[in-house]
């Protein structure tokens, strides 16, 4: 399908960091070599989108910016050289827009830290729009009958937590804690259970802990005095801890929940406070603990994470909304009141 050069689309656009997004009419992009044009069906709203628009991270996004990196839709146009996808295919676009494929990190299967990598909805236009362009090699083809609204959060919340759990090294039957049962955490609980792990859910909200219980969590802990002692006494500590919350206290707590030899995985990214996190060197050294960062997922992680969801083992709790409500949704995320995942119904 070929589109006129002057064709336009609706999109939510950020022009200055910290400002509200503006719903505008902008040109529909055209796919270049190796790219596809996607008619967006749905786009999940991630806390990272809020951080991007608020300018919370050291490297600012490219402005003007169309955010959104949990994108599902259908291919409507192929750029030259694209042979693995066809017009009409259902696809998903994750945070990792592209990687060079040739550096030492890409060759080692760590394309998530490629120094030439691009990010959807950050350095490249994302899915808060009716159409977007993406490299064909980095999108995930999904089943034609897939629920593209339910699948959208898997493109970030799913693949990110799935990779984090893999990087924890926890084995079936062992204990992992998920700190923060929000957009990422409620999906992490499901991936952990699907991987045969026992799960302790930790949050400040009893409502979110109740959600974790319905999703299969084996133990629930409200953040407060005594949570560390309770977990160490009754469960012997955690083999792995996945931090999806954005409060610095969550990152500090994670190390105290580990049993000897355990691993804390940092996923959530606190806006403007990451450098303030403190940990006990004595505890890390004497118990031989590990602290690892986990940054989204590789293409292989993406396909594996999508397969879990397609098999019905993982399903995001989705609340549908519209592009016109985006600024209100951002404020709800800032206040920590969103349950599950907000998904924009674009098409």
pLDDT digits (tens, 9 = 90+) for 5-45: 679 999 999 999 999 999 999 999 999 999 999 999 999 99
pLDDT of residue 273 exceeding 60: no
Q: What is the pLDDT of residue 318?
A: 94
- Do 143 and 210 have their domain in common? no
User: Residue 276 belongs to a domain with what CATH number?
Assistant: 3.40.50.720
Mean pLDDT, rounded, for 200-206:
95
Would residue 102 count as lying in a domain?
yes
Mean pLDDT score across all residues of the chain: 94
Would residue 2 count as lying in a domain?
no
- Do 289 and 316 have their domain in common? no
- Do 146 and 12 have their domain in common? yes
pLDDT of residue 4 exceeding 60: no
Q: Render pLDDT for 78-112 as a digit per residue (tens, 0 to 9).
A: 999 999 999 999 999 999 999 999 999 999 999 99
Q: What is the pLDDT of residue 1?
A: 47
- Do 20 and 141 have their domain in common? yes
Would residue 3 count as lying in a domain?
no
Would residue 193 count as lying in a domain?
yes
Mean pLDDT, rounded, for 244-253:
90
Mean pLDDT, rounded, for 316-332:
96
- Do 108 and 151 have their domain in common? yes
- Do 276 and 304 have their domain in common? no
Q: What is the pLDDT of residue 57?
A: 87
pLDDT of residue 52 exceeding 80: yes
- Do 131 and 91 have their domain in common? yes
Q: Compute CA distances 47 → 22, 76, 136, 159, 332, whole Å.
A: 18, 29, 26, 15, 10
Predicted TM-score of the model (pTM):
0.91
- Do 240 and 301 have their domain in common? no
Last residue of a domain, one of 251, 269, 293: 293
Last residue of a domain, one of 268, 293, 318: 293
Would residue 1 count as lying in a domain?
no
- Do 193 and 183 have their domain in common? yes
Phi and psi at 328, nearest 5°, equal -65, -40
- Do 16 and 142 have their domain in common? yes
**pLDDT tier, 281 (very low <50, low <70, confident <90, very high otherwise):** confident
- Do 147 and 168 have their domain in common? no
Mean pLDDT, rounded, for 74-81:
98
Task: State the residue range of the domain holding 17.
Answer: 8-156+297-345
pLDDT of residue 127 exceeding 70: yes
Which tokens sit at 86? 């066809």
Would residue 91 count as lying in a domain?
yes
Would residue 62 count as lying in a domain?
yes
Last residue of a domain, one of 270, 293, 316: 293
Q: What is the pLDDT of residue 168?
A: 97
Query: Domain total for the chain?
Result: 2
pLDDT of residue 48 exceeding 80: yes
User: Residue 44 belongs to a domain with what CATH number?
Assistant: 3.90.180.10
Q: What is the pLDDT of residue 275?
A: 60
- Do 171 and 201 have their domain in common? yes
Would residue 326 count as lying in a domain?
yes
Mean pLDDT, rounded, for 178-190:
95
Q: What is the pLDDT of residue 150?
A: 94
């Amino acid at each position: 399908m070929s589109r006129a050069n002057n064709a336009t689309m609706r999109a939510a656009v950020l022009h200055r960091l910290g400002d509200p997004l503006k719903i505008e009419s902008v040109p529909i992009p055209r796919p270049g070599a190796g790219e596809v044009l996607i008619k967006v069906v749905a786009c999940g709203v991630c806390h990272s989108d809020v951080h991007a628009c608020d300018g919370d991270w050291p490297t600012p996004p490219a402005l003007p910016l169309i955010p959104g990196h949990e994108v599902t839709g259908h291919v409507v146009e192929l750029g030259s050289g694209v042979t693995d996808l066809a017009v009409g295919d259902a696809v998903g676009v994750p945070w990792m827009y592209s990687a060079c494929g040739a550096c030492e990190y890409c060759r080692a299967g760590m394309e998530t830290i490629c120094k030439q990598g691009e990010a959807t909805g950050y350095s490249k236009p994302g899915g808060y729009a009716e159409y977007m362009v993406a490299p064909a090699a980095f999108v995930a083809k999904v089943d034609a009958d897939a629920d593209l609204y339910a699948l959208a959060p898997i493109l970030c919340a799913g693949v990110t937590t799935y990779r984090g759990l893999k990087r924890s090294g926890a084995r079936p039957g062992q204990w992992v804690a998920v700190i923060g049962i929000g957009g990422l955490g409620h999906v992490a609980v499901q991936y952990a259970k699907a991987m045969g792990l026992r799960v302790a859910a930790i949050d400040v909200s009893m409502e979110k802990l109740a959600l974790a219980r319905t999703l299969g969590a084996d133990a629930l802990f409200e953040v407060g005095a005594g949570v560390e002692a309770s977990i160490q006494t009754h469960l012997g500590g955690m083999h792995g801890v996945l931090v999806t919350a954005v409060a610095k206290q969550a990152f500090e707590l994670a190390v105290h929940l580990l049993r000897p030899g355990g691993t804390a995985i940092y996923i959530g990214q606190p806006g403007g406070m990451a450098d303030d996190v403190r940990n006990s060197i004595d505890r890390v050294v004497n118990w031989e603990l590990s602290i690892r960062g986990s940054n989204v997922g590789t293409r292989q992680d993406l396909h594996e994470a999508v397969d879990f969801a397609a098999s019905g083992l993982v399903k995001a709790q989705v609340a549908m909304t519209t592009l016109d409500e985006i600024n209100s949704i951002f404020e709800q995320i800032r206040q920590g009141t969103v349950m599950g995942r907000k998904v924009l119904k674009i098409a």
